[in-house]
Each structure stands twice: as C-alpha cells, then as structure tokens.
C-alpha cells in the first residue's frame, strides 16, 4: 500500500503533506528530525491519511492536496483538529 499523509506541527500548527510506502516508519523519520522539510517544526502528529495500492494515484492525490482547492478541502476536513 501507498499512503498520502498529513502531519500537523504541534509547534506552529502548520500542515505537511507527503506520500510513502511505510507510514509508521516515515512518521518516525519526521519526528526524529531526519526529514529536512519538517525538522524545525517538530514534534508532528498525523492528522489524516489515505491509502492506495497504486503509487501513481498516491502521487497524484498528494499533488492535488497541495493545491489551493486541496488545502481548502483539508481545512474543512480537519476543521476540529
């Protein structure tokens, strides 16, 4: 399975959107500071994920969530988080 995931920084409340094959390991990497894009925004918590068995679908979904429309969708979806 491939996962599109959303992490929320506890430090600054900003979201990070990514994709991975191993969700548990990837979240650990983020929180250990091994991912440059999020190392100054730790700690992070996972607030949303979607699974797909096709890598290209996960990559397309990640890209769509990074658009203005995608961010608006996430804002509505994650309103109380």
Phi and psi at 67, nearest 5°, equal: -85, 170
- pLDDT tier for residue 59 given thresholds of 50, 70 and 90: very high
Mean pLDDT calculated for residue range 18-44: 97
The beta-strand segments (E) located in 1-81 are 2-9, 15-20, 44-52
Boundaries of every domain in the chain: 2-77
CB atoms closer than 10 angstroms to residue 54: 10
What superfamily would CATH give domain 2-77?
GIY-YIG endonuclease (3.40.1440.10)
Tell me, yes or no, if the pTM score tops 0.95: no
How far apart CA 31 and CA 56 sit, in angstroms, is: 26
Q: How many alpha carbons fall within 13 Å on the CB side of residue 54?
A: 4
Position 8 pLDDT exceeds 80: yes
What pLDDT score does 79 carry?
86
């Amino acid at each position: 399975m491939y996962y599109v995931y959303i992490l929320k920084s506890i430090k600054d409340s900003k979201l990070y959107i990514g994709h991975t094959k191993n969700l548990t390991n990837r979240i650990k990497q983020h929180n250990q500071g091994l991912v440059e894009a999020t190392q100054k925004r730790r700690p992070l918590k996972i607030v949303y994920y979607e699974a797909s068995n096709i890598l290209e679908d996960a990559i397309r979904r990640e890209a769509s969530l990074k658009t203005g429309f995608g961010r608006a969708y996430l804002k509505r979806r994650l309103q109380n988080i």
